[in-house]
């Protein structure tokens, strides 16, 4: 259309996983849901995947902001679902800016273990510079106007993210099998 500027869309990805760790099994006892870890990715190849989780693979109690590698640690044998959503350039820039800010100050951020207790008690607990995985992803999505949630962000679960009507299912199964698919264009430094 003459005179109208086309809004270029970009894709972001939501990953929900079951890493089969004892911590995940403990969370599953409470939630009764198959996926209990949430991450956000900026590429189909899953090279730029971010969340709040383990900083030390063998210790779930040392957590914070992490860039996740789908070929390492708990993700090597993880099952999961991958969803995509189209975002505008403005939303993309807001998301990128938010992630860059946290990454630049990542030592000041912690995993929100206390917030998990608030979640169990159905009482939102906001802590400065502290998130659990789905709280982080929901905050990124809401702050960039991708979607809004009907409940307080500290009570948003991976299942709530999955039910947001903006997402389209891309894949369900073992994450390592997704990475083997021909449509996932791999680079030499690919994470998956």
What is the separation of C-alpha 122 from the centre of its chain, rounded to a whole number of angstroms?
22
- Please compute the mean of the pLDDT values over residues 11-39 and round it to a whole number: 88
- How many other C-beta atoms lie within 10 A of the C-beta of residue 164? 17
- Please compute the mean of the pLDDT values over residues 138-147 and round it to a whole number: 96
Q: Which of 172, 148, 150, 153 is nearest to 84 (CA)?
A: 172
- Please compute the mean of the pLDDT values over residues 169-176 and round it to a whole number: 94
* pTM higher than the cut 0.85: yes
Backbone torsions φ then ψ of 111, nearest 5 degrees: -75, 135
Which residue bears the tokens 């969803």? Answer: 83
């Amino acid at each position: 259309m003459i005179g109208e500027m086309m809004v270029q869309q970009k894709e972001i990805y939501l990953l929900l996983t079951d890493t089969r760790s004892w911590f995940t099994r403990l969370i599953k006892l409470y939630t009764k849901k198959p996926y209990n870890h949430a991450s956000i990715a900026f590429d189909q190849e899953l090279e730029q995947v971010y969340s709040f989780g383990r900083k030390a693979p063998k210790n779930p109690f040392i957590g914070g902001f992490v860039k996740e590698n789908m070929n390492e640690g708990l993700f090597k044998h993880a099952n999961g679902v991958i969803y995509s959503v189209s975002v505008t350039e403005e939303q993309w820039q807001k998301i990128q800016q938010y992630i860059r800010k946290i990454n630049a100050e990542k030592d000041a951020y912690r995993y929100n273990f206390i917030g998990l207790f608030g979640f169990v008690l159905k009482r939102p607990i906001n802590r400065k510079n502290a998130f659990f995985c789905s709280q982080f992803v929901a905050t990124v999505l809401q702050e960039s106007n991708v979607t809004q949630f009907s409940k307080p962000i500290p009570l948003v679960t991976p299942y709530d993210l999955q039910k947001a009507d903006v997402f389209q299912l891309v894949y369900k199964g073992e994450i390592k099998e997704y990475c083997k698919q021909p449509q996932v264009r791999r680079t030499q430094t690919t994470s998956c």
